[in-house]
Structure 1
């Protein structure tokens, strides 16, 4: 562990890949630049949307593969290339993936494994590890080429790579991203997984007052030891919320376990889609999306602009430009006019559709944010009632969706007793903070476990405490099978790198291996590994010598890092078995 960290610290450069649900990008800094000024971080500014001549610091998380499943393009280039193919009706055999990061979100209730497939916009499949890996490869390659152009050529092996993930992700999702990075030729010895709200929180420690915005006179003043603040990281896919406490020397301690849900900016997009479906119906909209890809892409970009510019104070009517083909598609499919469709919808008298423009009440468009806002506000309110969070009166909003005035205003109004502040370029805090985290990973001193972790054991059967249903006879002795032996409990605070150990003994002589099954549960005190809400994460196999005796093994779990590590040692030979744990 120590040698791996040292090797990363010796790299000449730290580069961070912010792999987002809707937008992705990269940032980097040389060690010499960091030592002079930690905030001197470079970001690519050359992502250009061809159809709208817009440049940005991030590109859409969209990737296009050709008919053979070979990588073609990423970002705005992928969007525009696919639209061109659609105009010539040649897109049907191509693979187009967008907003696929949420496939790794545990609330989707789909098991994450390294061999799983990912569906594109038409339901066609490619291996998910290939799609994620190619995005990471493209961003890595793009950065290396950009460095070469500016005369700062850097070898891949001289870079410490950071990949950001939501703090609320399960261990299996974090490992999946690690293995996707391996596909992009990033070795494990030069890779660190960073948690998004932690990275953003770390970056904000370095910001001068003029880079922080909030109500009059507010600054992000958490310099005093013991100051607590809530980090509200609102991205395209998730709301990721943590509470940090500032320690002396600039270290951060996690006060409450990371929590949140799928309440990002794409919820607004889905609400807009449902509004259209209530007017023209799902079949018409689906056919339009399939046959008029360029128009659908334009509609998505138009919606994104409106989302960013909508203000709580906006009143009266607003205008949304929509492709004429959408209106014509409805008439062609149904034989009815769009005016008749509106009359029969919940928006009668509130919405007018003329040619390529929809005029609607501002209250309707602002209502698209309601579901998202309600979920986030309710969750924050619940968090503030937890004993360890009570008294937190400073909220730091980061992430691209935090730049929405609708969201900022909603949080501010819901929690009037709290100071709600937002840094300049809130959407870049995670990316820049991940670079600082790469230079200074010890800034996070402790974390709170989101799960109870442990292994299954078979202790001697005790009729006073063990149920008969778990009684088995092994080696002529009654034992209780599937008992959950906890190494760390949910909600427990643990220092970064802290070890928890336990000694175990083989059940039989001549046993040449010990299989350690690692389990996790959101419950604080699970009794058995076969009860509800207990999940098998994976396994570690300890090879043992063939002996005519029972053998003792010491198992260590290393917690507090962004990823869980397991180490096993056979006591008689001192052989150690260490690896990044296999959750897939």
Structure 2
């Protein structure tokens, strides 16, 4: 963070909701302020909906709760295009562009993300400037991302933020569970978590993803710090999966395929049904017993009562005579929840088993889905005797947002394990007994070389200090090469041999001019390749040690490459 900043602000951009918060750097108490007066919201809450309402030209008509309200009010207007849940589409295997209407040319996930972040930025900068009397260029920004996202997704998010108006030089990314850990870790209710030697696992259960990270408290009693433990894990599992299972497994069965598809195609009806389902699933507590009722939208009710007596009779027969809502027994609701929670628990158990040996950790539940009483109960049952305690953040849905601000104010995370093995493509000596023959290259002197070898710079799981640089020296394979293209790769394999192995991904390339040493002995043509590990993001530098020429690149190169 730049010393000239007077305000640290954070944006938590989630699959379901987005909010911002900030704090003054010179405030010794580091009070966090937030905004909770979004137009159209049902109640005061620090997050607006991550949703957009677009016109026929792709321009934003409204966003957040107001977008949903307008879509419901103008249900028959085919020139309006409602979009939501597009964050998950930034993943390589995510839906093309989230959920919503399907009547226009399809905007990309990065375009939708940029449009939504632009609206957030406008509200945030106006609120912060008005309340603090600072200028926009005195704000440092933190933007949250899932821990399981790789460098590709993180830089897609950075690119969207810069398109939206956030200053690239004053913008840093922070992982969501790490931010949540900071918020809870400094909460007086969890003061025992701040004792040196304590270990805890953070499970950030949101709408679209679950992130699992672990930490150990290091340092001293008066200056504790956090060190990452194990490689972050997770999956595209979240509360949004319950919504899809509800539509596919319950609504279609009760209403029939034809009526269910008709309702799904009508944006207003789909929004209204999912809104009431959101209320019902949030309040579900199996200990209270009794069925869950989800009200059917007016358009569906008119269809049932006026045009489709057969479907209405079938619905009533399946629900003990009830024909104006979807009725779910406690067992049916548990079954829906378990389809997401059970694999989530399995991921957490696997993560804990992979941790370095040490004292048993605590388990900390954060994120919007962590508000579910049923999820909390399942985790307590599953990990009884495995962890010392299962804790839920005092404000599960707010922890990431508030913790992101704290991460910009107090650099308490000192190290974390690398999620990937990083290395560059090199030509090295051919090993007759271990290298593949197809990779062998014979130069004009008759020397045998192995093409496309993976020279490891950092190994997956290796502890990397935040802000640390890792360097290695290399030489060209001959005296005549005038330029080099240094290609950086990542893989989950801790011992890769070649850059084109399954799972290896090209991240960026730096071209460096080394004409100044043409003709010199190879040993004197040294270059230094350096990886720079920031708060979350990765950069690479290449230095010609003889001429002092240096080139630097960040993962933005990947965005250009992906667009080709």
Same fold (TM over 0.5): yes
From 322, 326, 329, the counterpart of 1:354: 322
Preserved CA contact (<8 Å) 1:97 1:120: yes
Kindly indicate whether residue 334 of structure 2 is the aligned counterpart of residue 366 of structure 1: yes
Secondary structure of 2:177 counterpart: helix
From 174, 183, 187, the counterpart of 1:194: 174
Q: CA deviation at 1:282?
A: 4.1
Kindly indicate whether residue 232 of structure 2 is the aligned counterpart of residue 243 of structure 1: no
Alpha-carbon separation, structure 1, partners of 2:321 and 2:144: 42
Match of 1:56 in 2: 45
Structure 1 pair 276–545 and aligned structure 2 pair: CA distance change class (3 A): same
Unaligned 5+ segments in structure 2 are: 560-564
Match of 1:500 in 2: 470
Match of 2:507 in 1: 537
Q: CA deviation at 1:342?
A: 6.8
Match of 1:131 in 2: 112
Match of 1:37 in 2: 29
Match of 2:160 in 1: 180
From 74, 84, 95, the counterpart of 1:85: 74
For residues 98-131 of structure 1, the C-alpha deviation after alignment (integer angstroms, 9 at most, x for no partner) is: 001111235x278xxxxx9778531631243322
Q: CA deviation at 1:578?
A: 2.0
From 99, 119, 122, the counterpart of 2:102: 122
Kindly indicate whether residue 381 of structure 2 is the aligned counterpart of residue 410 of structure 1: no
Match of 1:98 in 2: 84
Match of 1:19 in 2: 13
Kindly indicate whether residue 184 of structure 2 is the aligned counterpart of residue 204 of structure 1: yes
Structure 1 pair 357–472 and aligned structure 2 pair: CA distance change class (3 A): same
Secondary structure of 1:37 counterpart: coil
For residues 434-466 of structure 1, the C-alpha deviation after alignment (integer angstroms, 9 at most, x for no partner) is: 0011112x3111111111111111112232332
Preserved CA contact (<8 Å) 2:173 2:535: no
Alpha-carbon separation, structure 2, partners of 1:520 and 1:120: 34
Structure 1 pair 430–327 and aligned structure 2 pair: CA distance change class (3 A): same
Preserved CA contact (<8 Å) 1:447 1:560: no
Match of 1:479 in 2: 449
Q: CA deviation at 1:183?
A: 0.7
Preserved CA contact (<8 Å) 2:86 2:97: no
Alpha-carbon separation, structure 2, partners of 1:64 and 1:385: 45
For residues 17-43 of structure 1, the C-alpha deviation after alignment (integer angstroms, 9 at most, x for no partner) is: 00000011100111122xx213x1111
Preserved CA contact (<8 Å) 2:210 2:235: yes
Match of 1:313 in 2: 287
For residues 482-541 of structure 1, the C-alpha deviation after alignment (integer angstroms, 9 at most, x for no partner) is: 111111111211211222222222345553321111111111111111121212122222
Alpha-carbon separation, structure 1, partners of 2:341 and 2:203: 12
Structure 1 pair 10–392 and aligned structure 2 pair: CA distance change class (3 A): farther
Kindly indicate whether residue 352 of structure 2 is the aligned counterpart of residue 384 of structure 1: yes
How does the TM-score come out when normalised to structure 2? 0.91
Structure 1 pair 449–425 and aligned structure 2 pair: CA distance change class (3 A): same
Structure 1 pair 184–509 and aligned structure 2 pair: CA distance change class (3 A): same
Structure 1 pair 76–475 and aligned structure 2 pair: CA distance change class (3 A): farther
Preserved CA contact (<8 Å) 1:220 1:421: no
Match of 1:561 in 2: 535
| Runs of 4+ off more than 4 Å | 116-120, 330-335
Q: CA deviation at 1:353?
A: 6.1
Alpha-carbon separation, structure 1, partners of 2:322 and 2:441: 74
Secondary structure of 2:44 counterpart: strand
Alpha-carbon separation, structure 1, partners of 2:320 and 2:333: 13
Number of matched pairs: 546
Kindly indicate whether residue 262 of structure 2 is the aligned counterpart of residue 262 of structure 1: no
Higher alpha-carbon deviation: 332-341 or 485-494: 332-341
Preserved CA contact (<8 Å) 1:519 1:534: yes
Alpha-carbon separation, structure 1, partners of 2:420 and 2:256: 43
Q: CA deviation at 1:246?
A: 0.6
Match of 1:464 in 2: 433
Match of 1:290 in 2: 265
Preserved CA contact (<8 Å) 1:48 1:55: no
Match of 2:562 in 1: none
Match of 1:67 in 2: 56
Structure 1 pair 203–389 and aligned structure 2 pair: CA distance change class (3 A): farther
How does the TM-score come out when normalised to structure 1? 0.88
Alpha-carbon separation, structure 1, partners of 2:413 and 2:62: 37
Aligned-residue CA RMSD (Å): 2.3
Secondary structure of 2:252 counterpart: helix
Secondary structure of 2:356 counterpart: coil
Unaligned 5+ segments in structure 1 are: 111-115, 210-218
